[in-house]
Amino acid sequence: MRIEAYAKARDLTDRWAPLLDPDMRKITLPIAGEEVTGYMHLPSGQGRYPMVIVTNGLEGTMQELAFPLLKYRQERIGVFIMEMPGTYAYKKPMSTASEAVYNGVIDYVAAQPKVDPGRIAMVGTSFGGYWSARMAAVNPRLCCAVASGAPVEHAFATSNAFGLPAIIVSTMQKVMGAKGLLDLGSKMEALSFAKGNLYRNIKIPLLVINGDNDTLIGTEDSIELNKKVPASFLKLYENDDHCAMGHYHEWLDLTFAWLKLQFDKPEATSVIMMKQ
């Protein structure tokens, strides 16, 4: 039932997206043994534009990401919307090897004639935020990144696999191909930023967003990410939960304002103030 509903939503989006945004088209890429599907918007007209790769979390879909982003289609910024490896149509579970999928997408957009390869960013929510932060550490093509509600270290402790809501545990088991709680805990630990000191490898500006009371994975990881990445900025929304979804439209506005600052005035990254 879940996959059937997803397929229907995807079919409807395939039909409606080009009508709502004539500059958006569906892209299918063979990468690392997967068929990676995404929606790409490139501004009309001549020139080379900055590009933002947007990725979802455990339960989000491209469709849910695509329609709110239509608001920013006049910003003269390219957007590539994709789903996180391990979810929905992917064949392989999510793991550290999923870096290859994101690397392939980054290479693809960088090669587009209308994309400025020096101005590529990534935005992710929840587990997508994890990948946004991780790719900031491992892919030198990215010039900045945004991570909303990203689990990075504390959320991956083995003990956390026993404390999460049942629906989240079952979803994570499917996405990560885990055979049980112990296996899930092991796979979660392998993703931790504490492995290989990923924090210190993030040299680019990073915007970290969350609610100040994340009851799903905890706000602790957002605070830790901000503390350990020098060129990072933290925005916690008061009285909000995981990914600050109660302030979704507000933080999307903030994200695009911040991205434009990075794209247009890279030397002014310290100008924007994140007030708590």
Render 55-119 in DSSP notation, one character per residue.
E--SS--HHHHHHHHGGGTTSS-EEEEEPPTTSTT-SSPPSGGGHHHHHHHHHHHHTSTTEEEEE
User: What length is written for the chain?
Assistant: 276
Task: Tell me which of 255 and 20 has the higher pLDDT.
Answer: 255
pLDDT at 172: 84
Q: Which DSSP helix (H) or strand (E) runs through 50?
A: strand 49-55
Please give the angle made by the CA atoms of 76, 98 and 111, to the nearest 5 degrees. Answer: 35
Task: Tell me which of 184 and 112 has the higher pLDDT.
Answer: 112
149: left (phi over 0), alpha (psi -120 to 50) or beta: left
Q: 71: Cβ–Cβ under 8 A, 6 or more apart, which residues? A: 252
Q: 173: Cβ–Cβ under 8 A, 6 or more apart, which residues? A: 179, 180, 184
Contact predicate 98/175, CB 8 Å: no
Q: Which two tokens stand for residue 176?
A: 């990560």
Say whether pLDDT at 239 is over 60: yes
Q: pLDDT, tens digit, for every residue of 121-163?
A: 999 999 999 999 999 999 999 999 999 999 999 888 766 666 6
pLDDT at 157: 79
DSSP 240-251: --GGGGGGHHHH
Q: Which whole number is the average pLDDT over 185-210?
A: 92
pLDDT at 81: 94
pLDDT at 256: 96
pLDDT band, residue 2 (cuts 50/70/90): low
Using CA atoms, how far residue 85 sits from 118, 145, 213, 274, in Å, is 25, 18, 27, 31
DSSP 116-164: EEEEEEEEEETHHHHHHHHHHHH-TTEEEEEEES---SGGGSGGGGGTS
pLDDT at 59: 72
pLDDT band, residue 269 (cuts 50/70/90): very low
Q: Which two tokens stand for residue 267?
A: 């030397």
Of 140-144, 214-218, 251-255, which range is least confident?
214-218
Query: CA-CA distance, 101 to 124, in Å (whole number)?
Result: 15
Contact predicate 216/171, CB 8 Å: no
Q: pLDDT, tens digit, for every residue of 11-43?
A: 767 676 676 778 888 999 999 999 999 999 999
Q: Which two tokens stand for residue 30?
A: 């063979």
pLDDT at 7: 65
pLDDT at 68: 84
pTM of the model: 0.89
pLDDT at 276: 37
